[in-house]
Amino acid sequence: MGCEGFEDGHHIFVKCPQFGKLREEAGEEITMNIKKLGSERGVDERDISTLLEKVKFFFEDSQEFWPLGDSQYFLVHVTKLEKWIRRELFETTLLYQRFIHAIATQIHTTSIRLASRIFGEVQRIATRSWERDYRGPYEIERRD
What spatial distance separates the first Cα and last Cα of the chain, rounded to whole Å? Answer: 33
What pLDDT score was predicted for residue 94?
96
DSSP string, 78-122: ----GGGS-GGGSSSHHHHHHHHHHHHHHHHHHHHHHHHHHHHHH
The structure's pTM equals: 0.80
What pLDDT score was predicted for residue 121?
92
**Distance (Å, rounded) from C-alpha 103 to C-alpha 37?**
8
What pLDDT score was predicted for residue 132?
65
What pLDDT score was predicted for residue 117?
95
Each of the 144 residues of the chain gets a pLDDT tens digit; together they read: 667 777 888 899 999 999 999 999 999 999 999 999 999 999 999 999 988 988 888 899 988 788 888 888 998 888 889 989 999 999 999 999 999 999 999 999 999 999 999 999 998 888 876 666 665 555 555 555
